[in-house]
Structure 1
Amino acid sequence: MRSIRARLILILMGSTGLVWLLAVGWIYLSTQAEVERVLDARLMEAARMVNSLLSDHRIEVGLKEGTASHVVGEFEHSHRPYERQLSCQIWTLEGSLVGRSENAPTTQLSEVVDGFSETDVEGERWRVFTVENERLGVRVMVGDSLKIRESLVSDVITGLVVPALLILPFLAGVILVSVRRGLSPLSDMADTLSQRAANDLRPLQAGNLPKEIAPAVSALNGLFKRVEDARDRERSFTAFAAHELKTPLAGVKTQAQIALASDDPALHANALRQITAGVDRTSRLVKQLLDITALEANDAAPNLQAVRAQVLLKQSVAELPLPSGGARLVVEGGDGEDALILAEPHFLSLALRNLIENALNHSPENSMVVCRVEEAGRDVRLVVEDEGPGIPEAEISTVVEKFVRGRNRSATGSGLGLAIAQAAMARIGGALGLENRSGGGLRAVLTVRAVEAGA
């Protein structure tokens, strides 16, 4: 059942009906026990009273067979339905009936000589109390029909059930109204949201809300905030991407116009070189844009697997185009050359390539970019060091953001390399660290978890 309102109504009505049934059952059993106790006490009192009257000779009975007399008084007919079945018999110890109340059966009510008993008399079940008087030689038996007792209990239960049945429709109406009013804040919130425009991400008003609904409203407001932030990032990303693409494309167009308009071979050749550089920069920017978009759009869990760090480093270097500047790229064999790491090879290789390209773009001529693998306890570090200008300390925490290039920017950079490396490491649970080297240049470190021995 998908309706919370219908579910609440059914639960409340079902639980209310169950409580009524349990209450009726409990009242029935307790009333039956109480009626048995009270009527048994009445039987006992009546039998002892008759026995006392006999002992005091205030009632005379014939003690010979065939001389049975009527015992009058409390046992005469009454207009009260629950007193009509109380019957009394007086029997001799030899088994002769010497007295009985009016309309009492002539068959002996009980074979028990003393105390309570139940017996069938003339097809009817009776509850009997017997008192034996040895001095007079008689037994006094007083009984009533169990049918009357059951009727009494039935009347009590009927008096409870009938009002309950009459009250239940009213109670159901109260439950319906209560549930409707209780869920009205949800309906109001739904109406508010349905009337909003698609771009309206203002937070919902959280004042005076029931505490059960407040967490949902808070979660919705948090979602609105995250969606708004994502839209702002997308707008910024689009704007920066358009700007970054516009600049090299404009330069390519300008150099092409120069090449077409000039007859100077040297100027013509220089324009072609500038066009080639502009195309390379644009191509690298488009590739980085595709990489960062794929990283942010992919919500699937990374496929972590055990790989050898040194092998992955060499493969990443081999996939790079030959350096166009004067820097040399060197892969050293560090102390972690044989280390196994747990990572997603594609993401880790993506981070490595961007770090190496970034180092090559910022390195001066005749310098060296060094890559190696180091062990650090339970972690493994993939290190890329260059001899470039480094990053000002105040900018280290911000250069990992998209399109942030810093003061020591290169002519071919776009401000996406470090952002891609940061996003890729976040996807595989690793970390990117940046620090300036004491002798000049930048040290970039990718830290990943090593595969434990025996795992």
Structure 2
Amino acid sequence: MKNSLRLRLLAGTLVIVAAIWTTMTIFAWIETRHEADELFDAHLAQTAALLAATVGDDADEIVEHLPTHRYTRHVAFQIWDKDRRLLAHSSSAPEQPLSVIEEGFSDTAQWRVYSTLTEDRRYLVQVGETHQARGSVSRELATHLLLPLGLALPLLALALVVLIRISFAPLSALAESIGQRSPERLDPIPVAGAPRELHPILGQLNRLLERVSRSLQQERNFTGDAAHELRTPLAAMRAHAQVARASHDEAERKRSLDSVIAAIDRATHLTEQLLVLARLDATTTAVAKTPYDLRAIAADALALTTPAAIAKRIDLELGEGPPLVANVEPALVVTLLRNLIDNAVRYSPAGSRVTAAVSQAGGEARIEIVDQGPGIPAGELARVRDRFYRVAGSNETGSGLGLSIASRIAQLHGGRLELDNIGDGLGQRVTVALPVTARRIEAA
């Protein structure tokens, strides 16, 4: 029952109806019994008054004129003279007085009695009714009140079963429709025609289906692009390895093996980027953040790209300034900045400079990476964040994933990535804006 809405609704309704009906019956029975007692008492008093008005020397003849009824043996009367001699009584009355009280109502173990004296106070009239008779009437009243409940509850249960089954029919049809869907069918479930109470559930379910569909499409695109990108370095490795195996010239063999190593390095870098991107795609909620110095993170990212910068005789520089603390996930921000600095080094001419600067603008922490390369054509600025996209005509090796990874990490931090060119071919500026409440720590 705990897991069935139908049974809970049926049982709850029956329990509530039975409880309310029983409570009202009890109150009705108490009130009815009180009114019945009042009526019976009035009858006793009226009967006693009539007997008192008609009693005389011929009191013994009253018994002969009494009508018979099934309650006759439960009602009795006595007529006593002033010497307390019993002049007349009904067949159901005892020989002893019904009550010792001569005026008004009184109760004994067996009788409810009303006593009254005639106007000349010569006769005492007592009329009584057994408590058993009154109890019998009360029981009959209670039976008549409770009997409809006993008959109505099964009928009500049957009606509720039919009503609940009809009311839940749309839910069963909806469940059957969802169950018949194929795994590939992720289009929204129609809300029209569904019960209004199901609209919030269907709305949330449709939003979930939309996210799942988008995630599956991203996975398909990712898998296809990854397979395409990995095919190139693998083919290059195979070609250079074949050249090295077939060559008899030591210098040529060495060049081929160096090319194999370069292709392996490229495949390794691409695989690492793909793993990072896959992990970021799997993260659907905001990352866990801790207060951390952004200048220290930028210094770590510059240190990781130093070997590549030295190979191209490129100076790496971190702008001066006090520490700036922001709520970030340090490892992810290091990955973000490393990709941006790696791109800057890769596309900058030999002997140039790449600088990083950390600043605060209002409620934002901003990290700027500036290079002296050719920049990105204005028509391609909107596409360079796409996965595996590379600017046409570029001779540099790369996976085309660096900006995608950086943009995704910024998004997970609730930030954004801004790209703009410095003049005409004078360099590229990439800004990471993190909308966090940052605070400076003054240097000691």
Q: Which TM-score applies when normalising by structure 1?
A: 0.81
Deviation (angstroms), 1:394: 6.1
Secondary structure at the counterpart of residue 79 of structure 1: coil
More displaced 10-residue stretch of structure 1: 261-270 or 249-258: 261-270
CA deviation profile, 1:311-364 (whole Å, cap 9, x unmatched) = 222223223343244532211222xx3222222222222212122222222323
Q: 1:24 to 1:130 in 2, by over 3 A?
A: same
Work out the CA distance in 1 between the residues paired with 2:384 and 2:45.
Answer: 102
Work out the CA distance in 1 between the residues paired with 2:178 and 2:223.
Answer: 29
Secondary structure at the counterpart of residue 87 of structure 1: strand
Work out the CA distance in 2 between the residues paired with 1:87 and 1:258.
Answer: 133
Preserved CA contact (<8 Å) 1:87 1:101: yes
Secondary structure at the counterpart of residue 222 of structure 1: helix
Work out the CA distance in 2 between the residues paired with 1:146 and 1:409.
Answer: 113
Aligned to 2:372: 387
Deviation (angstroms), 1:139: 4.4
Secondary structure at the counterpart of residue 374 of structure 1: strand
Superposition pairs of residues 32-431 of structure 1, within 5 angstroms: 32-51=33-52, 54=53, 58-61=54-57, 69=60, 71-72=62-63, 76-81=66-71, 84-91=73-80, 97-117=86-106, 119-120=107-108, 123-124=109-110, 126-133=111-118, 135-255=120-240, 275-298=260-283, 302-320=287-305, 321-323=307-309, 324-334=311-321, 337-391=322-376, 396=381, 398-405=383-390, 411-427=396-412, 429-431=413-415
Preserved CA contact (<8 Å) 1:132 1:140: yes
Work out the CA distance in 2 between the residues paired with 1:389 and 1:131.
Answer: 127
Structure number with higher helix proportion: 2
Work out the CA distance in 1 between the residues paired with 2:315 and 2:242.
Answer: 34
Deviation (angstroms), 1:434: 0.5
Q: Which TM-score applies when normalising by structure 2?
A: 0.83
Deviation (angstroms), 1:129: 3.1
State the AA in 2 paired with 1:88.
F
Preserved CA contact (<8 Å) 1:130 1:139: yes
Q: 1:214 to 1:298 in 2, by over 3 A?
A: closer
Deviation (angstroms), 1:140: 3.7
Deviation (angstroms), 1:373: 2.0
State the AA in 2 paired with 1:79.
H
Gaps of 5+ in 1: 63-67
Q: 1:41 to 1:418 in 2, by over 3 A?
A: farther
Aligned positions, number: 435
Gaps of 5+ in 2: none
Q: 1:104 to 1:404 in 2, by over 3 A?
A: farther
Preserved CA contact (<8 Å) 2:407 2:417: no
Secondary structure at the counterpart of residue 74 of structure 2: coil
Secondary structure at the counterpart of residue 78 of structure 1: coil
Aligned to 1:65: none
Deviation (angstroms), 1:274: 5.3
State the AA in 1 paired with 2:407.
Q
Q: 1:393 to 1:178 in 2, by over 3 A?
A: farther
Deviation (angstroms), 1:59: 2.9
Work out the CA distance in 2 between the residues paired with 1:451 and 1:246.
Answer: 44
More displaced 10-residue stretch of structure 1: 244-253 or 231-240: 244-253
State the AA in 1 paired with 2:42.
A
Q: 1:289 to 1:105 in 2, by over 3 A?
A: same
State the AA in 1 paired with 2:357.
R
Secondary structure at the counterpart of residue 444 of structure 1: strand
Preserved CA contact (<8 Å) 1:310 1:373: yes
Aligned to 1:449: 436
Q: 1:33 to 1:397 in 2, by over 3 A?
A: farther
Deviation (angstroms), 1:237: 0.8
Secondary structure at the counterpart of residue 214 of structure 2: helix
Deviation (angstroms), 1:261: 6.7
Q: 1:435 to 1:301 in 2, by over 3 A?
A: closer
Q: 1:338 to 1:442 in 2, by over 3 A?
A: closer
Deviation (angstroms), 1:272: 6.1
Work out the CA distance in 1 between the residues paired with 2:19 and 2:239.
Answer: 87
What's the RMSD between the two structures over aligned residues? Answer: 3.5
Secondary structure at the counterpart of residue 166 of structure 2: helix
CA deviation profile, 1:22-63 (whole Å, cap 9, x unmatched) = 343233223222322322232233233334xx2xxx43148x
Preserved CA contact (<8 Å) 1:382 1:446: yes
